[in-house]
Amino acid sequence: MKNNLDNLDIQILDLLEEDGRASAKSIALKLGITEVTASKRISKIIKGDHCKVVAIADFEKCGFEFLLPMGIRVHGKQLEQVAEKISSLDAVYSVSAVSGIQDLEILCATKTLDETVELLDVTLPAIKGIKSITPAISSKVYKFQTDWAPLGND
């Protein structure tokens, strides 16, 4: 993944990993380069496909009481359409096509039991092509690492 990055880029990447909002000035000071160079390199690194520097917000502290890792099975050839429809729902945080018993693995977040029930009993079943929904509620999250993710072209 670091193919197009040189040594200096990688050093900058490591500093951004420690503090994503570190100023170009402080990075320049630490690496003994000019602020202009630091600034240019930072833009290059974070505008490319390699990584993003973003704020990650905590589900629970922002009021999402329910985290639901669900398996979805889909009729025949409708996988892509079903996946796109599910992806368009706000409550849905991730959608992955998988091989195995399930066709899709999705992760949803909801704020109340009513919202959860609505999602499970009304919204998802209304999507044409879904064969079955295997729901679960996450009771305790032990680990949630966010340093790698599939980044699209948004």
Partner 1 sequence: MIDHIDSKIIALLGKDARMPNNKIAKAINVSEGTVRNRIAKLLKKNIINISLIRNVNQMDNPGIAFVGLDVEASLKDKIAMQLSKMPEVRFVSSLMGRHDLMAFVLADNATELSHILYQKIASLEGVQFTESSIGLKYFKYDYKWGRLLSEAK
Site size toward partner 1, by CB under 8 A: 64
116, 66 contact by CB (below 8 A): yes
Binding mask 34-73 for partner 1 (x = CB under 8 A): --------x---x--xxxxxxxxxxxxxxx---x-xxx--
Name every residue whose Cβ is closer than 8 Å to that of residue 63 and which is 6 or more positions away in sequence: 111
Minimum separation from the CB atom of position 85 to partner 1 (A): 10
Site membership for partner 1, residue 77 (CB under 8 A): no
Cα–Cα nearest to 123, from 82, 94, 77? 82
Minimum separation from the CB atom of position 32 to partner 1 (A): 22
Q: CA–CA separation, 149 vs 74, rounded Å?
A: 25
Look up residue 20 and give its two tokens: 């994503």
Site membership for partner 1, residue 6 (CB under 8 A): no
- Long-range pairs, 92-95, Cβ under 8 A, ≥24: none
Minimum separation from the CB atom of position 34 to partner 1 (A): 19
Site membership for partner 1, residue 122 (CB under 8 A): no
Site membership for partner 1, residue 7 (CB under 8 A): no
Minimum separation from the CB atom of position 106 to partner 1 (A): 8
Site membership for partner 1, residue 126 (CB under 8 A): no
Site membership for partner 1, residue 11 (CB under 8 A): no
130-134 and 66-74: which strand pairing? antiparallel
Computed on alpha carbons and rounded to an integer, the radius of gyration of the chain in Å comes to 20
Site membership for partner 1, residue 87 (CB under 8 A): yes
34, 28 contact by CB (below 8 A): yes
Chain residues in the site for partner 1 (CB under 8 A): 1, 13, 16-17, 19-21, 42, 46, 49-63, 67, 69-71, 83-84, 86-87, 92-102, 105, 109, 134-152
